[in-house]
Structure 1
Amino acid sequence: MPDALILGFDTSASHCGAALLSGDRCIAARHEEMSRGQAERLMPMLEEVLAEAGIGWRDLARIGVGIGPGNFTGVRIAVSAARGLALSLGIPAIGVSVLDALSADSSGPVLAASAAPRGRAYLQGYRMAAPVTLELCALDALDPDWAEPDLTCIGSAAAEVAQVLGAKVAPAAHAPAEAVARIAALREVVPGTRPAPLYLRAADAAPPSDPPPVILD
């Protein structure tokens, strides 16, 4: 999509990020670390990115959004925003896995590793000899068969995973939102589809222990 304007954003972890691409050039971006407050910060950040580039919402060709896996609330915030914007603007919204975003523009065998609660990590392999499909794995239960020459680990849990597998550690080629936008720009649009959260674990919130109310006729 040469010169198409693609807006990407991600709030799936302890950050809020947005990036605007014109073709393959990133022309404006923001990334702020935050453990909470993404719901209040996301839309103002998107407005700032558009204003910096001197464009309006109606100039956008498509939207890319990080769909997780990650923080439940953060993922819902971004996906809901992307769906609403796509509907109001009449443009497609493309959901992108944050592990795909971590591995964007990498080379060689890569294991994307994003930290998850309770000593676990979201993992997915790219160009690895032993295929590693998307999964949630305890860091003390990693499969030693995943080790291979020149393996590189990327992501917030990369150091821990690399230590177990004897692999290298490298930073992601792009900030999360920019990677999301770059992948979304290349994805085929499937009519009628909308981005949806990618969850690999049960919600942290426990169901209510009180019995449901009695409905009287």
Structure 2
Amino acid sequence: MKPDPTLLAFDTSAAHCAAALLSDGEITTRVDLMARGQAEHLMVMLDDMLAAAGMGWSALDAVAVGIGPGNFTGIRISVAAARGIALGLGKPAIGVSSLEALAHGQPRPFCARLPAPRDHHYAQTFTARGAGDPSLEVGAATLPDPVVLVSNILQIATIRLASGAPIARPAPLYLRPADAAPPRDPAPVILP
């Protein structure tokens, strides 16, 4: 890996599109708050960030993505985008848990918490020895600053890239089943 890598990190696990670009040792961030429309907005936003930095997609050494937990659809949007970009560029995609991103740089032990639906929160404890399993717990939690979240995703991914260790393809981190329910109406009759 070159000594000064160029990485693009992004996250859509909550009501935002958040991105951070590391180029020439400088981090640039952008957060667009939005409850819906991340799928249509994300790639345009990332393209705009790269253009503003005077670079194209091929300048990237890797992409990093927040894998959740969080909004089911938002996580799928960003993970699918990261996989597609990485495949197209032939570069690694690095998945980082939002809970790990919240714990980055915090004194240990530290319990990271993220809001979840229905007065619950996602939690994971980080100690000097490692991390416990993430869980879904009762009680509210505060939504983190998306700039801090995506910046930490970027920093963790940079460390992983520099380590030279094998990088697994990012996959969504779900701690609860999807809220979608099957339709109540009977399926349509298919005519021959």
Q: Note whether the superposition's TM-score is higher than 0.5.
A: yes
- Aligned counterparts of 2:45 and 2:146: Cα–Cα separation in 1: 22
Following TM superposition, by how much is the alpha carbon of 1:134 offset from its aligned partner in structure 2, in angstroms?
A: 0.6
> Could you tell me how far apart the structure 2 residues matched to 1:136 and 1:204 are?
15
What is the root-mean-square deviation of aligned Cα atoms in Å? Answer: 2.7
% identity of equivalent residues? 52
1:86 matched to 2:86? The reply is: yes
The 1:74–1:210 alpha-carbon spacing in structure 2 relative to 1, beyond 3 Å, is same
Q: Following TM superposition, by how much is the alpha carbon of 1:215 offset from its aligned partner in structure 2, in angstroms?
A: 8.2
Residue 151 of structure 1 aligns with which residue?
none
Question: Residue 116 of structure 1 aligns to which amino acid in structure 2?
Answer: A
Query: Equivalent residue for 2:26?
Result: 25
1:10 matched to which residue of 2? 11
* Residue of structure 2 in register with 1:183 after alignment: 156
The TM-score with structure 2 as length reference comes to 0.86
- Asked whether the 8 Å contact 1:96–1:180 carries over to 2, the reply is yes
Distance across 2 between alignment mates of 1:103 and 1:52: 30
Whole-angstrom CA distance in 2 between matches of 1:212 and 1:47: 41
AA matched with 1:7 = L
**CA shift for structure 1 position 84:** 0.6
Match of 1:74? Answer: 74
Q: What SS does the aligned partner of 2:170 have? A: coil
Aligned residue in 1 for 2:34: 34
Please state how far the C-alpha of 1:133 moved relative to its aligned partner: 2.4
Per the alignment, residue 133 of structure 1 pairs with 133
Distance (whole Å) between structure 2 residues aligned to residue 35 and residue 82 of structure 1: 20
Write the letter of the residue equivalent to 2:173. Answer: L
**Partners of 2:24 and 2:112 in 1: CA distance:** 26
Matched-pair contact (CA < 8 Å) for 1:104–1:174 = no
Deviations 1:82-129 (A, max 9, x none): 011001000000111000111112223211100000000000111289
Q: Any conservation in 1 of the 2:30–2:147 contact (CA below 8 Å)?
A: no
Aligned residues: 187
Alpha-carbon shift at residue 51 of structure 1 (Å): 1.6
1:202 is the counterpart of 2:177: yes
**Structure 2 residues not aligned, in runs of 5+:** none
Following superposition, the deviation at residue 211 of structure 1 comes to: 5.3
Amino acid across the alignment from 2:177: A
SS in 1 for 2:19: strand
In structure 2, the residue corresponding to 1:175 is in which secondary structure?
helix
Counterpart amino acid of 2:21? L
